[in-house]
């Protein structure tokens, strides 16, 4: 979201630069030659993602402004508080800037967001959009969106290069007729679908029964991301994605997740995010991914290894694994000391990896260990040496074979800087 002063500058700058500024630039241009555009683009690329620096670069001159705009506007976040201001900015201030928007985040609210009739025309100008993240401030029905806003969303999804849709916090009808209608403009182009905190619309007693639901076929879908989906659309087989290649599961619930039947046997990559306090998922009997990525938050390294072992044991065909990526995240910031990974826990992981490797298909394992230390903890003089020796001793056969890489990072929060400070970083 742009601060108002920046938006005001952009609106005024889009039309013209005042005469005094023109004279100053004319004098400067007479004294020195402008930098080549290729060099300017290289300078601008160094500031990618850093809005204040990009904005400063855009103030240099018209050429720099023109070259900065694609980066300044490639990712836009519209909250429910700034919704009306942003729409007005794109419609009346600088409609030409719509062409630079590639990633759009919209937070909708039934109470604060307006839906003027010209929304579809405004959104239609974002014809280079690739990703839309549509969330709702509070629970809301996808089927109850105002007609102009729903038409505007359809215009966004119909963009030729559109590939990624994320829905967060929405309630869907039992037969997912609202989801089908929403996805209809992008059925041929959609590659990634993310469903987060999705619920089911409650049926009022005495209301007419819904018709039998037809299946939503997403044949072009390659990646499906699921987090806290309470709607039975997957369990009931209302969605089919036969060509799915990657499944991301975020597991932050006390009940073990059952893999939905819509997941095809040919799934190539399985990504799991979870916590040790929650049970590992149940993967069924048909999938045989070649790549497994697991990110676990836990109180100790040993507990994280045990959780990962539960995931492997749940796979019907662990022998098909070719690549494993592990991230173990332990937070000791509220404790007095750090619980370093023990050699016994390393050995338990090595034994598990060796069993998978004996099947003959495993090619590589990446392990990343992130430890957040208490703010007053300082690493010992020999801490780096001691930790790297433990890793090298236990995983020596895998390291010598060139099929194992490990990184251990110990960090702590620094309140003065408002960020984490890396205390120890070792690789093997």
3-class secondary structure for 316-360? CCHHHCCEEEEEEEEECCCCCCCCCCCHHHHHHHHHHHHHHHCCC
- Are 155 and 120 in contact, with CB atoms under 8 Å apart? yes
Answer whether residue 65 is part of any domain: yes
DSSP secondary structure letters along 187-203: TTT--EEEEEEEEEPPP
What does the alpha-carbon distance between residue 404 and residue 364 come to, in Å, rounded to a whole number?
A: 6
CA 77 to chain centre: 14
DSSP state of 210: P
Query: Would you say the C-alpha torsion 300, 302, 306, 309 has a positive or negative sign?
Result: positive
Structure tokens at 263: 């997941």
pLDDT given at position 414: 83
- The pTM of this model reads 0.82
Structure tokens at 336: 């007095």
Low-confidence ranges of the chain (pLDDT < 70): 1-33, 35-47, 49-69, 93, 111-113, 203-213, 254
H or E element in which residue 419 lies: strand 419-427
What does the alpha-carbon distance between residue 167 and residue 241 come to, in Å, rounded to a whole number?
A: 17
Decide which of 11, 42, 72 is a domain's last residue. 72
DSSP state of 258: B
DSSP state of 184: G
Decide which of 12, 38, 72 is a domain's last residue. 72
CB burial string 334-345: b at 16+ within 10 A, e below: eeeebebbeeeb
Count of beta carbons in the 10 Å neighbourhood of residue 266: 13
Residue range(s) defining the domain that contains residue 42: 1-72
- Are 350 and 326 in contact, with CB atoms under 8 Å apart? no
Structure tokens at 68: 């900065």
Count of beta carbons in the 10 Å neighbourhood of residue 89: 21
H or E element in which residue 66 lies: helix 62-72
Answer whether residue 308 is part of any domain: yes
Answer whether residue 87 is part of any domain: no
Count of beta carbons in the 10 Å neighbourhood of residue 186: 22
Answer whether residue 410 is part of any domain: yes
pLDDT given at position 211: 58
Decide which of 50, 72, 94 is a domain's last residue. 72
What's the structural domain count of the chain? 2
DSSP state of 282: B
Residues 367-376: pLDDT tens digits?
A: 999 999 988 8
> Counting Cβ atoms within 10 Å, is residue 16 exposed (0-12), middle (13-18) or buried (19+)?
exposed
- Three-state secondary structure along 79-133? CCCCHHHHHHHHHHHCHHHHHHCCEEEEEECCCCCCCCCCHHHHHHCCCCCCEEE
What does the alpha-carbon distance between residue 91 and residue 100 come to, in Å, rounded to a whole number?
A: 14
Answer whether residue 77 is part of any domain: no
Answer whether residue 296 is part of any domain: yes
Answer whether residue 236 is part of any domain: no
pLDDT given at position 256: 73
Answer whether residue 360 is part of any domain: yes
Give the residues across from 296 on adjacent strands: 274, 328
* Spatial CB neighbours of 340, under 8 Å, sequence gap ≥ 6: 301, 371, 387
pLDDT given at position 159: 95
Q: Give the pairing of strands 419-427 and 404-414.
A: antiparallel
Residues 234-282: pLDDT tens digits?
A: 888 888 899 999 999 998 776 777 888 889 999 999 999 999 999 988 8
What does the alpha-carbon distance between residue 387 and residue 390 come to, in Å, rounded to a whole number?
A: 5
Q: Give the pairing of strands 364-373 and 404-414.
A: parallel
pLDDT given at position 15: 46
Structure tokens at 343: 């050699």
- Are 113 and 84 in contact, with CB atoms under 8 Å apart? yes
From the list 201, 95, 188, the residue with the least C-alpha distance to 142 is: 201
């Amino acid at each position: 979201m742009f601060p108002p002063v920046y938006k005001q500058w952009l609106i005024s700058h889009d039309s013209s630069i005042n005469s005094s500024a023109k004279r100053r630039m004319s004098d400067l241009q007479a004294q020195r030659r402008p930098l080549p555009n290729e060099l300017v683009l290289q300078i601008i690329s160094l500031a990618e993602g850093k809005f204040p620096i990009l904005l400063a670069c855009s103030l240099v001159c018209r050429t720099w402004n023109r070259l900065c705009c694609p980066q300044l506007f490639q990712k836009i976040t519209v909250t429910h508080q700034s919704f009306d201001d942003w729409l007005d900015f794109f419609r009346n201030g600088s409609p030409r800037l719509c062409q630079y928007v590639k990633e759009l985040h919209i937070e909708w609210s039934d109470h604060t967001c307006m839906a003027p009739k010209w929304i579809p025309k405004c959104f239609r100008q974002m014809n280079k959009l690739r990703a839309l993240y549509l969330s709702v401030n509070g629970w809301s029905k996808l089927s109850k969106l105002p007609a102009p806003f729903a038409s505007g969303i359809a215009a966004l999804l119909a963009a030729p290069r559109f590939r990624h849709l994320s829905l967060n916090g929405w309630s869907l009808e039992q037969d997912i007729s609202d989801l089908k209608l929403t996805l209809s403009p992008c059925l041929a182009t959609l590659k990634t679908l993310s469903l987060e905190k999705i619920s089911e619309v409650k049926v009022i007693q005495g209301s007419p029964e819904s018709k039998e639901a037809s299946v939503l076929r997403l044949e072009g879908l390659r990646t499906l991301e699921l987090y806290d989906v309470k709607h039975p659309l997957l369990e009931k087989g209302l969605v089919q994605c036969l060509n799915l290649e990657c499944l991301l599961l975020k597991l932050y619930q006390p009940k073990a997740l059952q893999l939905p039947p819509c997941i095809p046997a040919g799934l190539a990559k399985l990504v799991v995010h979870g916590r040790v306090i929650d049970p590992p998922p149940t993967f069924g009997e048909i999938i045989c991914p070649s790549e497994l990525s697991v990110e676990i938050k836990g109180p100790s390294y040993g507990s994280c290894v045990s959780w990962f072992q539960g995931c492997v044991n749940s796979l019907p065909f662990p022998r098909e694994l070719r690549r494993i990526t592990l991230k173990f995240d332990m937070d000791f910031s509220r404790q007095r000391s750090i619980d370093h990974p023990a050699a016994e826990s390393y050995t338990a992981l090595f034994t598990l990896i060796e069993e998978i490797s004996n099947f003959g298909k495993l090619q590589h394992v990446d392990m990343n260990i992130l430890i957040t230390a208490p703010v007053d903890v300082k690493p010992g003089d020999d801490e780096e040496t001691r930790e790297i020796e433990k890793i090298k001793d236990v995983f020596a056969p895998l390291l010598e074979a060139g099929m194992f890489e490990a990184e251990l990072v110990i960090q702590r929060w620094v309140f003065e800087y408002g960020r984490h400070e890396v205390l120890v970083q070792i690789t093997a």
